[in-house]
């Protein structure tokens, strides 16, 4: 079961004093990871060698971001004030095209007698 070798060779192969099964598993995992790395590197190297002529890259048109002022105006249109009996009790924002308002539950409470402006 165990490798029969001299003590000096055993100390080189198994430097720490784990059981032989633990040490074997550690070496097996290192060997398997090494094989996976070699396989992955050989595939990428082979793919790079097979594509000798570079393909022209298509031009990507980047859309202009909206002006900061326009984005700020859109955000202001979505913010609403939540009032109860004419007194503001909180803020929220409207979901796009949905009509629902997102706010905290502590502001809404039971939901009776609330005005959203």
- 0.75 cut: is pTM over it? no
Model confidence at 1: pLDDT above 50: no
Q: Same domain for 16 and 45?
A: yes
Contact indicator for 93, 78 with CB cutoff of 8 Å: yes
Q: Can you point out the beta strands (E) in the chain?
A: 79-84, 87-94, 101-102, 115-116
Residues 117, 115: Cα–Cα separation, whole Å: 6
- Across 1-5, 57-61, 91-95, the highest mean pLDDT is recorded for 91-95
Say if 15 falls within a structural domain: yes
Asked whether residue 63 is domain-assigned, the answer is no
Residue 57 lies in a domain: no
The domain tally of the chain equals: 2
pLDDT value at residue 101: 85
**27 found inside a domain:** yes
Chain segment 70-99, per-residue pLDDT in tens: 777 877 888 888 998 889 899 888 887 777
Q: Is residue 83 part of a domain?
A: yes
- Is residue 97 situated within a structural domain? yes
Tokens of 39: 């396989």
**The pLDDT value given to residue 112:** 83
In a domain, 40, yes or no: yes
2 in any annotated domain: no
> Cα–Cα distance between 117 and 94 in angstroms, integer?
11
Is the domain of 83 the same as that of 111?
yes
Mean pLDDT of the chain: 76
Domain residue limits at 77: 68-116
């Amino acid at each position: 079961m165990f490798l029969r070798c001299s003590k000096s060779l055993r100390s080189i192969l198994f430097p720490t004093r784990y059981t032989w099964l633990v040490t074997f598993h550690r070496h097996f995992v290192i060997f398997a990871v090494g094989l996976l790395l070699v396989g992955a590197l050989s595939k990428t190297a082979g793919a790079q060698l097979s594509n000798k002529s570079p393909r022209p890259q298509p031009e990507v048109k980047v859309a202009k971001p909206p002006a900061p002022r326009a984005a700020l105006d859109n955000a202001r249109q979505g913010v609403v004030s939540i009032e109860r009996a004419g007194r503001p009790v909180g803020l929220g924002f409207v979901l796009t095209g949905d009509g629902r308002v997102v706010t905290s539950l502590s502001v809404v409470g039971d939901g009776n007698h609330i005005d959203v402006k």
